[in-house]
Chain A
Amino acid sequence: MSWVLRNLSYAFHFRRENSVAEITHPILKLVGLLITIIIAVSANVSNLMILLIIILIEALYIRRIRNIFEISKAMMFPLFFVGFFALILYGITKALELILRLLVIGYAIIIFMTTTLPSELAQVFESIGIPRKIIIIPELALRVIPYIASDTQQAIESLLLRKEIKLSPIPRGISKVFAAVIMSAVKRSNFLAEALLAKHYFQGKGTKFYEFKITVYGIIQLVVKILFLIVIMLSINLTTMLLNVFTLFSIAK
């Protein structure tokens, strides 16, 4: 359990890699992410495979392969369970489809989260007129994820040794971990709220910290995803189409 959390926290770790994705306008990336999620929930297996390859190429280009590797490790255990039950209930194709959908969504979220700081996103939302009181909710929620992960890990480890919880063969007492983590989170939020009030956070106008650009990468990834969405909407099987094109070329030669 703790290694899953550890890998999750590594996967979500924001690193400055001087890649083009970090200076790309967050709205371009956000729209790209939303389109990817829509495709992921509606595409068939072969199209999902192609989308997965596109995402992996994108991750390679913007140097986020390590994060992809960490999230894959973290998702391995839950995916195995989900896949196993899907296999029993619906058969191999559905199981594979479900795993691919989850992988694509997971990878797309990781790419977005590891190239966009919550405060960058907040700045963009603020610039398009969304009230700061609304923006601050997801911003803070995203910021506290690593702390919650660390608290959960500490709770699991210390309560295991106290014999209060058990992980195997049958997990027992997990609700105690939740209770401890929620209590810690409430305390942390209390401190955070007080600190923000002390800094007059809700008063006055926001400050622009970041400069964003409409980069070639940002446009290309968006265009590719929009095209992919169109392909899905037209119910075209991309693999069959590519195979047909390949066969046509072979015949023409």
Chain B
Amino acid sequence: MFVQLKDVWFKYSHTDWILKGISMKFGRGIFAIVGPNGSGKTTILRVICGFLKPRKGSVFVLGRKVQSYKDVIGKVIYVPTNPTVFVIGPIVYNEFMKISKTLGLEKSIDEIFEELNIKELRNRRIFNLSEGQLRLVSIALAAFSKVDVLLLDEPTVGLDRVYRDKIMEIFKQIKNKVVIIATNDLRLATRVDYVYAINEGQVISEGSPSKVFYDKKVIEAIGAPEIVTFARRIGLSGVLTPQQLAKILREM
């Protein structure tokens, strides 16, 4: 296992328990942690980074117990909700140059721009990028850097379908890495390999998206993507995309 959380309990000094015995395992692939606001998604990411120390339980990254953030430097990269504080610029190209010097890049910068079809952003100033472009650049930086674990906090907030698809494209290109996404975007969560659904600091369901999003507990706590709601109404299960639904309806 690349990342493992064993019975992690966490609380701040002035709050109730935020994480209540969370156990999770992350191997290679794309994982989503879904849950309502305040359920502890970001806290889990920050515990993995070593910025927060669990009150009970332990966290392991690449086989090493995480005591502080120093244990994960060079292994983990964390893109917070606000991409403005992750990309410091001033020019997009410089940003890739910097990360190639500090963490290393898996591909040449030109290759990355070419593959993502974002050549027009190459010499743009960070400050002039739109929210979506900034998010895309921050995720590209994280995804192609030479680290094994990517932690992304709400990567699709405020993005349209085109940018969401581009981000999924980036994820599909990276292999041999652990991508952990904390998100409320159920459309994104249906496209990952494995989902952990959490509520009030506890895992309420886990498994493939087709299993988790048809789980009654998850539907009650988090809700379900529209396609799932529709499929359940007509008595189907395991359907997550319009293509799957169309195929089943044609066969019927």
Kindly state whether residue A42 has any CB partner on chain B within 8 Å: no
Given A66-B14, A162-B99, A163-B103, CB of A183 within 8 Å of CB of B80 = no
- Interface size range on B against A: 20 to 34
Pick the contact of A161: B14, B49, B88 (CB < 8 A): B49
| A161–B72 CB distance below 8 A | yes
The complex places the Cα of A184 from the Cα of B134 at a distance, in Å, of: 12
Chain A residues touching B, majority SS: helix
A114 → B minimal CB distance (Å): 13
A66 to B160 alpha-carbon distance, docked (Å): 43
A158: interface (CB < 8 Å): yes
Residues in chain A near residue B89, CB distance under 8 A:
179, 183
CB of A151 within 8 A of CB of B74, answer no
- What residue of chain B has the Cβ atom nearest to residue A152's Cβ? B85
Does A208 interact with chain B (Cβ within 8 Å)? Answer: no
B69 touches A180 (CB 8 A): no
* CB–CB A157/B51 < 8 A: yes
Q: Quick one: which of B13, B51, B69, B127 contacts A183, CB cutoff 8 A?
A: B127
Q: Which residue of B lies closest to A151 (CB)?
A: B85
Interface bits B36-66 vs A (CB < 8 Å: 1, else 0): 0000000000100101000000000000000
Complex Cα gap A191–B68 (Å): 36
As a 0/1 sequence over residues 131 to 168 of chain B, the CB contacts with chain A under 8 angstroms (1 = contact) are 00000000000000100000000000000000000000
Please state if A157 and B69 are interface contacts (CB–CB under 8 Å). yes
Given the known A-B contacts A66-B14, A157-B49, are A162 and B81 also in contact in the complex, defined by CB atoms under 8 Å? no
Interface residues of A in 170-193 (CB under 8 A from B): 176, 179-181, 183-184, 187
- On chain A, the residues within 8 Å of B77 by CB distance are 158, 161-162
Contacts A157-B49, A183-B126; A162 near B85 (Cβ below 8 A): no
1/0 per residue B1-36: CB within 8 Å of A?
Answer: 000000000001110000000000000000000000
Contact among A66, A154, A162, A179 with B102 in the assembled complex (CB-CB below 8 Å): A162
> Which chain B residues lie closer than 8 Å to A119 at the CB level?
none
Which one of A2, A6, A158, A161 lies within 8 Å of B85 (CB-CB)?
Answer: A158
Per-residue contact bits, chain A 102-124, to B (CB 8 Å; 1 contact, 0 not): 00000000000000000000000
The 7 A-B pairs at the shortest CB distance, nearest first, are namely A155-B85, A154-B80, A163-B102, A184-B84, A180-B85, A158-B86, A154-B85
Q: Which residues of B contact A (CB under 8 A)?
A: 12-14, 46, 49, 51, 69, 72-74, 76-82, 84-86, 88-89, 98-99, 102-103, 126-127, 145
Q: Write 6 A-B pairs (CB below 8 A) sorted by A numbering.
A: A70-B14, A154-B82, A159-B85, A162-B99, A183-B85, A187-B84
**What residues make up the interface of A, taking CB atoms closer than 8 Å to B?**
2, 6, 10, 66, 70, 151-152, 154-155, 157-164, 176, 179-181, 183-184, 187
